[in-house]
Amino acid sequence: MSDYLFLIESRLNPEQWQVVLRMQKAAEARGMNLYMVGGAIRDLIGGFPIEDLDFVVEGNALKIVRELSRQKVHIPWQNDSLRAAEMEFPSGVSASVCMARSETYGKPGAPPVIAPATIVSDLKRRDFTINAIGVSLNPQSRGLLLDPTNGLADIEKKELRTLNNYSFLDDPVRIFRAVRFRARLRFSFEPKTATQYQNATESDAQEMASGEAVAHELRRIARERTPVEALKALEKEKLLLVLSPCLRDSRLNLQEIGRASKISHSLAKAGLLAPSFPLFFYLLTRKLPARDQTRLAKWLKLRKPETDLWRRMEANAKRLAKQLGGKAASTPTKLYHLLAAAPADLILFLQLLFPQKKIQARIKLFLQKQLPLRSRLPEQELQEMGVASGTPRYQKILDTHFYAVLEGKVRTRTEQKKFLKSLVQKGK
């Protein structure tokens, strides 16, 4: 029984594991049953990288969300009728939680009638068997695998299988999801699912997908390791035309999205998180006529902060480029201050779309020299000199030392040590 708990603990990174423990504690305190479900379990079992964590609670999940929001957990999205929310933990881990529910569908694309349900009914309302697996996080059954539709076998066979004949018609965004998962996981459709997919697309069921559901898909694509692969797969199936009839051929900006994704991988190595959904959306729609861009953003019902960032992206990037090319970045210290305060998205934007030598060279200096230097502050030496860590004085000395090294005022290791000592003595 405990094997799956062991798998969870060993496959998650320490920050993600802490989130599991925190959720467990919050659910236990309220006497609620908690399960880990969906993509995280699929990726755990399939050996794929685990990005976001999905939780289900039997009961009102928002009670847990309210408590967490009081503890510095950011809630970018919440749905009161689904009792569902997305959460961003201070450690950078993203997760979602919702109430276990059953769904009954009427018209295609229209929201289903929902009702509180058990975890097993909740798993059975999902899109594909591989996403309908749960692991209990409850004291009596912690680590127990719940797999009512044998998703485990489908992960092994590398197949996508819907849970019922009407899955694509009930929730047409699953047409998009099927194509995305097939491309990302390199799975194939099992024969019945392939027929359902073909029937659904031949009757243009994809046109019935709601804008909000498609927006959720786009947010997911923006977070893919290779978004271009997902977009190419959707383009091949002519699904992007649902977003805009112009979103094809040279108006589909795959080249820049591909380059942005490569840049984002190197930014991630430097500890900078990018790109965000607004940047992805900016690049995706960049070559569309302005009218189509606005129409699409409206149909998708983008969240206000997303729309604001998307609309201001270009102006903000131009402003940063101007500062970066001018006096605001004319010394190493000024450069560091400017870029350390800039959103990673804008740095990526400049790397992608501002080829000017000076701008590129300054960003390179920041990423390749200044950031590594910042991560190697002489903390141990300072503590050995008797300065208590975490105090304002400690931080001040580290900062003064860092800026002196940045400016080239102290170069060799011996000079740096001597300088540090002098700072400590001066402060006494």
Q: Rule CB under 6 A: which residues touch ligand CTP? A: 38-39, 51-52, 54, 126-127, 131-132, 171, 173-174, 177, 220
Which DSSP string do the residues of 43-110 spell out, in sequence order? HHHHTPPP--EEEEEES-HHHHHHHHHTTT-EEEEEETTTTEEEEE-TTS-EEEEEE-EEEE--STTS
**Nearest distance, CB of residue 131 and ligand CTP, angstroms:** 3
**Nearest distance, CB of residue 183 and ligand CTP, angstroms:** 11
Question: Judged by CB, which is closer to ligand CTP: 22, or 174?
Answer: 174
Q: Which helix (H) or strand (E) holds 219?
A: helix 211-222
Helix (H, G, I), strand (E, B) or coil at 399: helix
**Nearest distance, CB of residue 167 and ligand CTP, angstroms:** 9
**Nearest distance, CB of residue 199 and ligand CTP, angstroms:** 18
Which candidate, 96, 15, 4, places its Cα nearest to that of 55?
96
Q: Which residue has the tokens 């991560």?
A: 375
Question: Judged by CB, which is closer to ligand CTP: 217, or 235?
Answer: 217
Quote the CA–CA distance of 382 and 405 in Å, as a whole number: 15
Q: Which two tokens stand for residue 179?
A: 């194509």
Instruction: State which residue has the least CB distance to ligand CTP.
Output: 39
Question: Judged by CB, which is closer to ligand CTP: 44, or 240?
Answer: 44
Contacts of 179 (CB under 8 A, 6+ apart): 230, 233, 234, 237, 239
Quote the CA–CA distance of 312 and 418 in Å, as a whole number: 47
**Nearest distance, CB of residue 118 and ligand CTP, angstroms:** 16
Q: Which helix (H) or strand (E) holds 373?
A: helix 371-374
Question: Judged by CB, which is closer to ligand CTP: 92, or 245?
Answer: 92
Question: Judged by CB, which is closer to ligand CTP: 7, or 373?
Answer: 7
Q: Which residues pair with 228 in a beta bridge?
A: none
Question: Judged by CB, which is closer to ligand CTP: 55, or 402?
Answer: 55
**Nearest distance, CB of residue 242 and ligand CTP, angstroms:** 15
